[in-house]
Amino acid sequence: MLLLHLTDPHLFQDPEATLKGVDTFATLMSVLHTARAIHGHAAAMVLTGDLSQDERPGSYARLAWALEGMPWPAYLLKGNHDDADAMWVGLTRQPADIRTDRQFFLDNWQVLLLDSVAPGRVDGTLSAATLDWLERALSAHPRHHALICLHHHPVPVGSPWMDALMLDNGADLFAVTRRHPNVRAVLWGHVHQCFDGERDGVRLLSSPSTGVQFAPGSDAFALDARAPGYRWLELLADGTLDTGVCRVPDGPVPVPEPGEGLVRR
Ligand SMILES: [Fe+2]
């Protein structure tokens, strides 16, 4: 079964606003249409947070508008830039196939979406209730392979500034996954760059943002000129997976000088 991972669109309510010189709505549309052209047959899409940059209802309405007509349901998670109230207001009565289930099934795989947002903080945490729910979901379906999705990275990705903003209790997550060998992969957003690793037999993956990219291996905040994109994951019946990243064919988006903040065209 084919699953798509899009993350960190950082949309604005104001259609003129840009992030680091990037029109994040335009790049999201470009990524979505690329995904539809290449992977339109996918079973579902997961969007792992930072859906909005300004936390205003209109930014979520624009997300729903972008997703309308896409051939897959979109499962949404919050990120540290998201506001739950604005999200539900903005998404209400939108016709796009948007889902907020924390668990769904694709053949003999279950996909589990964990809320890792700590209110008022940029880094993340998994609450005791979330960890308990994960434990029970894995125990209830021992014959299903499992893919866990969340916003924050549970392991360092090699960028010290970003690794200061990771999940603060990744050890608790891996304590759960070690008890459940049916967990095959953990997938996250937040880092705006690709990561592909492994821990205790679990594949560890992150994906590019659909908008602004962060430079891998940076000690301090730095942008990357690589193009926006998404990850595809082919979840195979034997519990293995194939995966890859597609970037928009237009090439890299403009990268402003370091330190340049939010700008308007
Ligand atoms: Fe982000």
Q: Could you tell me the distance, in angstroms and rounded to a whole number, from the CA of residue 21 to the centre of ligand 1? A: 15
Q: Helices 128-140 and 170-179 sit at what angle, rounded to 10 degrees? A: 20
Nearest to 75 by CA among 22, 142, 7, 175: 7
Rounded mean pLDDT, 81-109: 91
Q: Check pLDDT > 60 for residue 256.
A: no
List pLDDT tens digits, range 104-163: 999 999 999 999 999 999 999 999 999 999 999 999 999 999 999 999 999 999 999 999
Q: Could you tell me the distance, in angstroms and rounded to a whole number, from the CA of residue 14 to the centre of ligand 1? A: 18
Q: Check pLDDT > 90 for residue 193.
A: yes
What confidence score (pLDDT) does residue 258 get? 45
Q: Check pLDDT > 80 for residue 71.
A: yes
What confidence score (pLDDT) does residue 92 get? 81
Q: Could you tell me the distance, in angstroms and rounded to a whole number, from the CA of residue 76 to the centre of ligand 1? A: 14
Q: Could you tell me the distance, in angstroms and rounded to a whole number, from the CA of residue 77 to the centre of ligand 1? A: 12
> What is the pLDDT of the chain when averaged over all its residues?
93
Q: Could you tell me the distance, in angstroms and rounded to a whole number, from the CA of residue 187 to the centre of ligand 1? A: 14
State both tokens at 38.
Answer: 């290449």
Rounded Cα distance between 32 and 59, Å, is 17
- Dump the DSSP string for 4-39: EEE----B-SSTTEEBTTB-HHHHHHHHHHHHHHHH
Q: Could you tell me the distance, in angstroms and rounded to a whole number, from the CA of residue 210 to the centre of ligand 1? A: 10
Q: Check pLDDT > 50 for residue 244.
A: yes
State both tokens at 25.
Answer: 């709505």
List pLDDT tens digits, range 26-58: 999 999 999 999 999 999 999 999 999 999 999
Q: How confident is the model at residue 261 (pLDDT cuts 50, 70, 90)?
A: very low
Q: Could you tell me the distance, in angstroms and rounded to a whole number, from the CA of residue 7 to the centre of ligand 1? A: 8
What confidence score (pLDDT) does residue 259 get? 44
Query: Please, is 38 exposed, middle or buried when counting C-beta atoms within 10 Å of its C-beta (0-12, 13-18, 19+)?
Result: middle
Q: Could you tell me the distance, in angstroms and rounded to a whole number, from the CA of residue 58 to the centre of ligand 1? A: 18
Q: Could you tell me the distance, in angstroms and rounded to a whole number, from the CA of residue 38 to the centre of ligand 1? A: 25
Q: Check pLDDT > 60 for residue 264.
A: no
CATH label, 2-247, candidates 3.30.360.10, 3.60.21.10, 3.40.50.2300, 3.10.150.10: 3.60.21.10
Q: Check pLDDT > 80 for residue 231.
A: yes
What confidence score (pLDDT) does residue 254 get? 52
Q: Check pLDDT > 90 for residue 249.
A: no
Question: What are the boundaries of each domain within the chain?
Answer: 2-247
Q: Could you tell me the distance, in angstroms and rounded to a whole number, from the CA of residue 221 to the centre of ligand 1? A: 13
Q: Could you tell me the distance, in angstroms and rounded to a whole number, from the CA of residue 139 to the centre of ligand 1? A: 31
